């Protein structure tokens, strides 16, 4: 199987220290044939401070060109980006994505809406003291995700289950109460020729995707990328074959890879 890992970070992300070459070497050892580097470009930090509404491609591009050359014949390396909170300034996002070499864009939400305070979901979720706090965070997340699906600046919607990673486990929350809203968002994604990702959270979340994958497939969704979200070499490619098996069980026959913002399909076998 030609396995792909379409979500991973390097030292061009503030929360990773790995070089692209270390990540690519790890991918090769993990049996990943194609890797797409998707460093963070967040428009807000965890404390709701604004970050530049422009992405400087110079270093990412230089790293990508060098690594791609060095790994020719071992790992195919594609150039992507993970845009966090692009909904805040979709025109600026579109301008920074006008790069001919760019293969792939993940659209993610890492923060609350401005109305709710704009702080990082990671921070807010871990600080939730009651079930009602958790539900309020998820409500706000759904509103912002819905707005994000109306913007142009992404190819796949990133880690839809993101807040569940960090909410206190004792409340046993899932996204079922928002199923109709999610169906509406997924329909918009499908109609616009885009997709979603199954993000394994460095190998820790695979089964949690089962219901959402089936919903997406039942609605006619076909474009699905697999990503580990690895921030360090030890977890590049983590649980990618398991993610592929789960996708197959949910009715997917292909996984997607991207060439210059256009999906290509790899048969699951
Ligand atoms: Zn993310
Ligand atoms: Zn990420």
**CA-to-CA dists, residue 159 to 57, 164, 244, angstroms:** 23, 10, 16
Tell how strand 3-5 and strand 76-84 pair up: unpaired
For 33, residues 6+ apart whose C-beta sits below 8 A from its C-beta are 2, 3, 4, 75, 76
Distance 232 CA to ligand 2 centre (A): 12
Residue % of the chain over a pLDDT of 70: 100
Distance 158 CA to ligand 2 centre (A): 8
Distance 201 CA to ligand 1 centre (A): 9
Return the ligand number nearest the Cα of 39: 2
Q: What is the 3-state secondary structure (H, E, C) of the chain?
A: CCEEECCECCCCCCCCCCCHHHHHHHHHHCCEEEEEEEEEEECECCCCCECCCCCCCHHHHHHHHHHHHHCCCCCEEEEEEEEECHHHHHHHHHHHCCCCCCCEEEEECCECCCCCCCCEHHHHHHCCCCHHHHHHHHHHHHHHHHHHCCCCCCCEECCCCHHHHHCCHHHCCCCHHHHHHHHHHHHHHHHCCCEEEEECCCCCCCHHHHHHHHHHHHCCCCCEEEECCECCHHHCCCCHHHHHHHHHHCCCCEEEEEECCEEEEEECC
pLDDT value of residue 137? 98
Distance 97 CA to ligand 2 centre (A): 17
Distance 199 CA to ligand 2 centre (A): 9
- Residues within 5 Å of ion ligand 1, judged at the Cβ atom: 108
Distance 85 CA to ligand 2 centre (A): 12
pLDDT digits (tens, 9 = 90+) for 202-219: 999 999 999 999 999 999
Q: Are 4 and 52 in contact (CB under 8 A)?
A: no
Distance 162 CA to ligand 1 centre (A): 8
d(CA 95, CA 107): 15
For residues 159-166, give the mean pLDDT.
Answer: 97
Domains defined along the chain, listed by start: 3-267 (3.20.20.140)
d(CA 257, CA 3): 10
pLDDT digits (tens, 9 = 90+) for 120-129: 999 999 999 9
Distance 84 CA to ligand 1 centre (A): 7
Where residue 234 falls among pLDDT bands split at 50, 70, 90?
very high
d(CA 44, CA 177): 28
pLDDT digits (tens, 9 = 90+) for 20-78: 999 999 999 999 999 999 999 999 999 999 999 999 999 999 999 999 999 999 999 99
Return the ligand number nearest the Cα of 163: 1
Residue % of the chain over a pLDDT of 90: 100
pLDDT digits (tens, 9 = 90+) for 250-259: 999 999 999 9
Distance 219 CA to ligand 1 centre (A): 25
């Amino acid at each position: 199987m030609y396995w792909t890992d379409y979500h991973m970070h390097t030292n061009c992300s503030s929360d990773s220290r790995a070089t692209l070459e270390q990540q690519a070497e790890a991918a090769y050892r993990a049996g990943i044939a194609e890797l797409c580097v998707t460093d963070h470009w967040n428009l807000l930090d965890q404390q709701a401070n604004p970050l530049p509404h422009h992405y400087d491609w110079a270093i990412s591009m230089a790293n990508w060109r060098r690594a791609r050359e060095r790994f020719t014949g071992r790992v195919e390396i594609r150039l992507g980006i993970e845009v966090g909170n692009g909904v805040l300034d979709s025109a600026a996002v579109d301008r920074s994505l006008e790069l001919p070499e760019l293969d792939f864009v993940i659209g993610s939400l890492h923060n609350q809406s401005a109305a709710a305070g704009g702080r990082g979901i990671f921070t807010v979720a871990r600080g939730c003291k009651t079930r009602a706090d958790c539900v309020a965070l998820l409500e706000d997340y759904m509103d912002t995700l819905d707005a994000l699906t109306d913007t142009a600046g992404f190819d796949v919607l990133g880690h839809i289950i993101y807040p569940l990673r960090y909410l206190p486990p004792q409340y046993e929350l899932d996204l079922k109460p928002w199923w109709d809203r999610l169906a509406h968002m997924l329909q918009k994604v499908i109609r616009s020729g885009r997709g979603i990702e199954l993000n394994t959270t460095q190998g820790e979340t695979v089964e949690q995707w089962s219901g959402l994958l089936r919903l997406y497939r039942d609605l006619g969704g076909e474009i699905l990328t697999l990503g580990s979200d690895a921030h360090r070499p030890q977890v590049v490619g983590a649980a990618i074959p398991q993610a592929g098996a789960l996708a197959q069980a949910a009715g997917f026959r292909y996984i997607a890879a991207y060439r210059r913002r256009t999906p290509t399909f790899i048969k699951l076998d």
